[in-house]
Every structure is written in structure tokens, then in C-alpha cells.
Structure 1
Amino acid sequence: MAIKEYPFYLKTTVILFGLILLVYMLSTLGDILVPLAFALLMSILLNPLCNWLQKHKIPKALSIILSLLSTLILVGAIMYFLSSQTMAFSDSLPALKEKFGQIITDLESWVYTRFGIETQKQVAFIKNTMNGSKALVGRTLNTVLGTLSIVFLIPVYTFMLLFYKQLILSFLYEVFSEENSARVAEILKETKSAVQSYIVGLLVEMVIVAILNSIALLVLGVKYAILLGVIGAILNMLPYIGGIIAIALPVLMATVTKDGYSTQLGVVIAYLVIQFIDNNIVFPRVVSFKVQINALISIVIVLLGNALWGISGMFLSVPFVAVLKIIFDRIDDLKPWGKLLGDNVPTRHIGQIWTRRRGRTADTVIEGQGTK
């Protein structure tokens, strides 16, 4: 029986409608899927610790609880450190506000002298900008508060995923045909290894970058160096975009608290050096991420993740695409998409190879005709 071939435009339309429906469902069900995605990453990360505890004759449920408690204690210690630093920062807010107001006044005078723009127009422009910023801050706060509200679901989801791990794995094996079981096992093994190495390496990288940032800011004499260094390291976990924001914060602090611009220049140079060390030494050796995503896809997917799920989507986008690449690389029809996501750039594209092969074939035919 012949299989009916549908025209290209019809296939494309169906695929586009499917993608639109998928994005709509992901956006609508974000409150459920975001904590579930974080819990899935957390369960993959804690799985070796749970297995180690179970090997030492500790019951399964208790092993999971102990693993979760150790994680919560670590996160609580980090949050306590950041909150104590933030309290010290809030004590200096009045003085910083006064200094910032003086800088704004001097800037208005400079703009009026240089460009002839009246102060009233500058104030009106700043007010309009601030109104837009308030809306942006409001959306950001809603995202943060929404994230905090679902954080309490993550430990519950993580416990359930670890407790029912064998049931989920059995389902994944049984849902596919028996001849594909080896490929399914390979995909699951690669996914687990990639996610574990990525998250552990990312945490180690964050600690190293936080230390380097704090030392650089302390040497330059920037106030609240440790707080800004840690925040910069956390933002650095966002590919490419976080590094830019991380530089802007200490530069702004140096502008408000110090005279001149030498400190700001020193901050920019120091952070650029740290970024170079991180990208070329720390990240390749510490993260050792087995599935590399090229820079273009990383930037686009982070922006799409932000548009879909906000800050949470930015963090989840890279490991999500890495898992997709692992799957694409093991399905013949999807291998081109896996190559598109990867960072292996060929020296020649396939069209050039085909063209050269056809040219050689034509030359051979002509030579063969000439010899007759």
C-alpha cells in the first residue's frame, strides 16, 4: 500500500500549529511544570547520594529525606549569608540615595551645557523611563514571588521522583518497542551524566567566580564587595546575558560611592579578565559538560526561556536543550537538528561536498568520452 505524500506547505503548517500549541500549553501550565522541571534536575543530582545511602542499609524513604535535608541546609546557609549582607547594604541606603541624587543633578547640568536640553525635559524623560521601569520591576517581582511560592513544591516533587524512580524508568522502557531498549538506555544514561556534570560543575564554577569577583572588588575598594561578588557569580550562571548584568552592578556601586572613574574602569577590566579565565580555564575544566551547545543557540534559548517562564526559564533552558540534543543525536531523522544545536562547526557544508563530487563525476565522464 502506497503511503500518501503531503505537500511541503501543508507539513510546515501542521508543524507550526503544533509548536504554537506546545508553547501555549507550556506557558499556561508554567506554575506546574516549572517546579516539576527543577525537581527533575534536583532528583538527578541527588540520585547518587540516595543510592550511596541505600547501599549502607538506610531505608529508601529515609535516604531521600536525608539527601533533601542536606540540600536544604546548604541552600539555607547561602540564603542566610546573602540576607546578612543585604541588611548591611540597606543601612547605607540613605547615604547612597543622597549621593546618587547629586550625581543625577550634575549629569543634568552637563547635558544642558553640552546639548542644550532643558532640565524639565530631562526630568520628564526620566519619569517616563521610571514608569516603564516600575512595570518591568513589577513583572520581575511577580516572577520572583511566583518562584518563591513554588519553591515549597520542589522538595515534594523531588521526593516523589526519587521514590518512584524505578516505576518511571520501567514506564520509559515499556513505552518504546523492545528493539529500541538499548537506545533508550543509552539516552537515559547520557542525560543523567550530562545533567549531573552540568549542575555540579556549575555550582563549583559559581564558587570560584564568586571568590574571584569578591577579591577583585575588595582590592579595588568597592563597597559591599562580597555581596556584589556573590550576586555576580549567581548571575554568571545565565549564559552570556548574566555576565553583562554582573558587571553593571559593581560599576553602578563604584559610581555612587567613589569620585572619578578609575574604579569603574578597574571593575570593568577585572571582570573582563575574570570572564576570560572563566570561559577558557574554569568552565572547560570544572563543568566538563559533555553536550556542548553553540553560542547562538544558547543566547536565543535563554531569551526564549525568559519570555516563556521568566527567570526560571533562563536557568532551565540550557539543560533542557542539552537533553534535546542527546535525543536528536540518537535518532537518524533528527541528527541534523542535533548538529545545529552543537558547537562542532564543519569546514565545508554538505552542498560544497556534493558540488565537488558532481564536478569530479562530470570531469570523469568527459575524460572517458574523450578517450573513445
Structure 2
Amino acid sequence: MLHDPPKPTSPEKRIDTARLQTGALMIIAFAVVLFLLVQARFILISLATAIILFSLTSDVINFIARQRIGPLRIPNAIASIAAMVLIATALLILTSVLLAQVNTVLVTTLAYTERAPSAIASMFGWLSEDNQAAIFNAVRSIDATSYLRSAAGQASGITQATVLIILFVGFLFAERIWFDTKLESLIGDKAQALRVRKIIQSIIHRVNYYLLVKTVISGITGAMVYALALAFQLELATALGVITFVLNFIPNIGSILATGLIALVTHVQFGAPNTTLAIFVIATGIQFLNGNVIDPMLMGRALRLSSFGIILSLAFWGAVWGVPGMFLSVPIMVMLLVVCSHVPHLRPFAILLSREGLPDTEQMLNETAKRDVFQKPPKPSGGI
């Protein structure tokens, strides 16, 4: 004899309702956070960059403070001021170089506007004449002037962001000496506060090592591309070297964009398929050697991120923060990997984010906390 299924009791109804409410609240919270990330993107991007630069200075300060002038050791305060001056100087120089190269690219692009459609259409000579004509009309219909004007406007915002980042870093320096005290008071447990501090030190070390290696590799790649462009007498040799250096900080697609850009500039300037192909092959070889051989060799275990996770992070932060989000996607993912590795409930996410499915252990956390990016024990002092 068939029986109707038992009706859920009142406690079961309450559990289902609570789960439904929790899910709805999580969706609403995610939507609110996403809205704030988009609306406050300029400030948040500047703040995130300032925090990364500030964390980088913690290793720089430890390195400077270990140096001696005769029998005297450099005081921590002087080391902090020196690191701040170095950061401000480097940011201002980098900004001026970028703005100068952007201005060069914009002026040269205007000169190339007339011959660019025919040069680009000729790259598809293996297609039919109708398809080439369609590509030519499509490229010619692009309003390059408006895009260049927009690019110039965005470039002018780099100076404002640089000043804001320097201010943020300065105020973070002012709070640095009180960080340990605030952390211990916030958590209320010395042992747990020490563990949180080790996690923060691990994040700092991993991000700093990634930035150090990436800067060296990107600098070498940019210099090689500059030499290549100079050898073929390209008008934008310096700009291509600088742009290659910058784009290589964007994982995976940055090197592809840089290689495509130098090939496009070559074809527009010379219109010779053989020359374009030669530069494309050489530039691809440079990017492959530095990005797929030397880079992984130097990174070692410092960047054990899932390739698919990097693509997802790149797509998400690129959609939320645009190009700056692409530059920050890997440091943010490194932070998430370290945090999730040492929070039991979030460890499954760390397994998904890690390359081999082996996130950090407590032993690795203790080993990382004992050294800075220069592989020496940091000088004990207040703050991180």
C-alpha cells in the first residue's frame, strides 16, 4: 500500500528557510561588494598598489637596516625614510617615462593612421579580395582620433594615481610601528596574533619575490625587444621596449599582446611581410625563452598557482578594474592562496588555487617567516 511521504516537521522547515536566507544574503553581499569595487575602483586600485609597495619596503628596510657604515648600523628610522624616498623617486621616474612613451606612441599613431588600414588588410592576403576589402573598410571606419583622445585622458590619470599611491604609502609608514600592537589587541591572543603575523609575512615574501623576479625578467625582455627593434630601425624602438616591459607583468596574455604589437608596428612601418615575419619569430622566441624557461626556473615554489586559476583571476579583475586589475590579479591571487592555505574551512579553495593541489603547510609558514626576500633573517623590529 502506497503512503504519502511524511511532511517536513517545523524544525526542518526552519533549517531550509535559514539556508535559503543565508544563500540570499551571500548573493546580496557579493553584489554589494562587486558594486563597491567598481564604483571606488580608482581609490581601491591606488590603495592596493600602495599596500603592495609598502609590503615590498618591509624587505627593503630590513636589507638597508642590516648594512653598516664602519662600526655603526643604519637605524631603522633612517632605513624607512630611505625606502620611502626610493619608492617615491622610482614611481615618479616610471610615471614620467610612461607618459613620455605614451605621448610618442600617440603622435606616431596619428602619422600611421592613413596607411594602417591598407597595411593591416594586406596581412590577410591569403583571403579573397572581398574579405580583404571588408577588413580594409572595417579598419578605416575606426575613429582612431577618439580612441587616442581617450587614451591620452587615461594616461593623464596616471600622475594623479602616482601622487595618491605615494600619500597612501607615507601614511602606512606612519602606522607601521603600531601594527603589532594593534594586531595583538584586535585578536586578543598572543599565539594567534603571532600566527596571523606569520601569514602576513608569508604573503609579503611571496608577493615580493614574485615582483622581484617578474621585474628582472620583464626588464630583460624589454631590453631584448628594444635591441631587436633598434636593429630593424623601427621608429618606436624605445616605446616598444617600455611597453613590453610593462605588459609582461600581465600574466599569459601580456607577452602575446607585446609580440603582436611589435609585429603590427613593423608591418605598418615597412609593409614587408618577410621583415614582419622575421621580427615576429624573433620576438616570439624572446618571450618564450624568458617566460617559459627562465621565469619558471627563478620562480620555483614562490608562484605555485593554478594556470586556470590565474586566467580566472585575470578575467575577473580585468572586468572589475580594467587593465590595472590585470596587473594586480596575480598578487591578489597569491594572497588568497596563502590565506586559504592556513584557514581550515577555506583550505579546499587553496587546493583548487594551487598548481599541484598542495597548498602551504604550517612548516612552510614557519620557514617563510624566518626570512625576507633577500633570504636572510629579518631584523626584529616593530611592525611588519
Bucket of the pairwise TM-score, normalised by the shorter protein? 0.7 to 0.9
Aligned to 2:363: none
Equivalent residue for 1:14, pick from 25, 41, 45: 25
Q: Does 1:152 align with 2:176?
A: no
Q: Does 1:248 align with 2:260?
A: yes
Q: Does 1:47 align with 2:52?
A: no
Alignment of 1:232-247 (within 5 A): 232-247=244-259
Aligned length: 339
Aligned to 1:338: 350
Alignment of 1:1-372 (within 5 A): 5=15, 8-53=19-64, 56-58=73-75, 60=77, 62-78=78-94, 96-100=112-116, 103=119, 114-115=129-130, 123=137, 125-126=138-139, 130-131=142-143, 143-178=154-189, 179-288=191-300, 290-344=302-356
- Highest relative contact order (Cα 8 Å, sep 6+), 1 or 2? 2
Contact 2:218/2:244 (8 A) holds in 1: no
TM-align CA RMSD: 3.6
**Rounded Cα–Cα distance in structure 2 between residues aligned with 1:8 and 1:135:** 51
Indicate the percent of aligned positions where both proteins have the same amino acid: 19
Contact 1:206/1:237 (8 A) holds in 2: yes
**Rounded Cα–Cα distance in structure 1 between residues aligned with 2:74 and 2:27:** 52
Contact 1:39/1:154 (8 A) holds in 2: yes
Contact 1:50/1:63 (8 A) holds in 2: yes
**Rounded Cα–Cα distance in structure 1 between residues aligned with 2:182 and 2:328:** 24
Q: 1:101 to 1:53 in 2, by over 3 A?
A: closer
- TM-superposed deviation, 1:24: 1.4
**Rounded Cα–Cα distance in structure 1 between residues aligned with 2:254 and 2:208:** 22
Question: Runs of 5+ in structure 2 lacking a partner?
Answer: 1-10, 67-72, 359-384
The 10-residue stretch of structure 1 (94-103 or 183-192) with the greater mean CA deviation from structure 2 = 94-103
Larger radius of gyration: 1
**Rounded Cα–Cα distance in structure 1 between residues aligned with 2:133 and 2:223:** 45
- TM-superposed deviation, 1:318: 1.2
Q: 1:165 to 1:259 in 2, by over 3 A?
A: same
**Rounded Cα–Cα distance in structure 1 between residues aligned with 2:64 and 2:131:** 71
The 10-residue stretch of structure 1 (178-187 or 149-158) with the greater mean CA deviation from structure 2 = 178-187
Deviations along 1:269-305, one digit per CA (max 9) or x if unpaired, are: 2222222212332212334462422122212212221
Deviations along 1:221-268, one digit per CA (max 9) or x if unpaired, are: 544333312211211110112122211221121112214211221222
Question: Runs of 5+ in structure 1 lacking a partner?
Answer: 347-372
Q: Which amino acid is the alignment partner of residue 89 of structure 2?
A: I
Contact 1:38/1:154 (8 A) holds in 2: yes
